[in-house]
Homo-oligomer: A and B are copies of this chain.
Amino acid sequence: MEILCRKTAARIERIVSTGQATPEGEWYDQQADEWVLLVEGGARLRIEGERQDRALAPGDYLLLPAHCRHRVTWTEREPLTVWLAIHFAPD
């Protein structure tokens, strides 16, 4: 993970995944809103309470509100999967 820009209001990160997924049974549960854009590669994301994964292709983006529990269930390895993530300061 590389921080591209860090300001009081938000932090911009570039994240490269090489096939990683969130370990089974674990969830991300974040304090603040995060906006993610899939730049390259591909991924599947599961939001807690949803019945199936969301498939993400380059150009797809979504807002993960604070405490929206989610897991990355799959990322493409070839080509590498590149994300842009923006972590907002709490409102």
A61 part of interface (Cβ distance < 8 Å):
yes
Question: What's the dominant secondary structure at chain A's contact region?
Answer: strand
Is A86 within 8 A of B12, CB to CB? yes
Query: What is the distance, in angstroms, from A68's C-beta to the closest C-beta of chain B?
Result: 14
> Which of A3-11, A43-51, A71-79 lies on the face that meets chain B?
A3-11
Instruction: Specify which chain B residues have a CB less than 8 angstroms from the CB of A37 in the assembled complex.
Output: 84
Q: A61 touches which one: B4, B7, B90, B91 (CB < 8 A)?
A: B4
Is B8 within 8 A of A10, CB to CB? no
A89 part of interface (Cβ distance < 8 Å):
yes
Complex interface residues of chain A between 53 and 91 (CB less than 8 A to chain B): 61, 63, 84, 86, 88-91
Query: What is the distance, in angstroms, from A11's C-beta to the closest C-beta of chain B?
Result: 10
Q: Give CA–CA (A88, B86) in the complex, Å.
A: 11
Instruction: Specify which chain B residues have a CB less than 8 angstroms from the CB of A89 in the assembled complex.
Output: 9
